Amino acid sequence: MKRLILTVIAILAMAFVHAQRFEIKGIVKDSTNQELLQSATVFLESKTDSTLISYSITDENGFFKLVGNTAVKEFNFFTSFTGYKEYNKIITFENGTIIDLGTINLSSDVEFLEGIVVNARKAPVTVKQDTLEFNAKSFNTKADANLEDVIKELPGVEIDKDGKITVNGKEVTKILVNGKEFLVMILK
């Protein structure tokens, strides 16, 4: 039993001896205006099998520091930030090496378009809780139409001979015109 424990300890000790300590640091900025980029992603992966070794996110000063132990000697170093081209570099170092990459300038990855035309149409009827909102421009009415003419064009809306307005069989208690209450009594 003692031999087994000693063997396991020896194997673990050998693994730590082969692992090398690394430290990589730097600052990430926008290449155009030199603005510090907070929350840019920075990571190291093994060059041979793309295994993630370490990662970090830049602080409010664009600063990052990757620290760790690994047996890998060659790394792919990457920095990325939304809206920017990814930066990558191959790094090789010996045990205990501290690498200061200085300032890493990321270039914008934005493409400008000539122009965009948006064609949209407002819905003729919108339901908001217990209210139906009608867009009067969506219905065919004459240029000199009054409120009664517009209301008669709305689907499901009826006005009886006494001026009582119903929508789908339910009596209307108030009418809003451009978001302001309109007197229903005028129609009666």
Query: Are residue 139 and residue 182 in the same domain, yes or no?
Result: yes
pTM passes above 0.85? no
In a domain, 120, yes or no: no
Query: Are residue 95 and residue 142 in the same domain, yes or no?
Result: no
* CATH assignment at residue 55: 2.60.40.10
Do the Cβ atoms of 88 and 58 come closer than 8 Å? no
Phi-psi region of 149 (alpha: psi -120 to 50; beta: other; left: phi over 0): alpha
* % residues pLDDT > 90 (the chain): 26
DSSP string for residues in 130-145: TEEEE-GGGS---TT-
Looking at residue 114, what is its pLDDT? Answer: 77
Name which of 137, 138, 127, 121 is nearest 167 in CA terms: 127
Looking at residue 88, what is its pLDDT? Answer: 93
Looking at residue 174, what is its pLDDT? Answer: 77
Query: Are residue 27 and residue 86 in the same domain, yes or no?
Result: yes
Which three-class secondary structure string do you get for 69-97? EECCCEEEEEEECCCECCEEEEEECCCCC
Which of 106, 133, 163 is the C-terminal boundary of a domain? 106
In a domain, 153, yes or no: yes
Domain residues for 50? 18-106
- For range 53-69, the mean pLDDT: 90
Looking at residue 93, what is its pLDDT? Answer: 77
Looking at residue 11, what is its pLDDT? Answer: 58
The mean predicted confidence, pLDDT, of the chain is 79
In terms of Cβ atoms closer than 10 Å to its own Cβ (0-12, 13-18, 19+), residue 104 is buried
Structural domain count of the chain: 2
> In Å, how far are 16, 31, 38, 86, 113 from 82, measured between CA atoms?
37, 14, 11, 9, 18
Summarised one tens digit per residue, pLDDT across range 93-132 is 776 778 899 999 999 987 777 777 777 666 666 666 677 7
Position 141, amino acid: T
At residue 80, does pLDDT exceed 60? Answer: yes
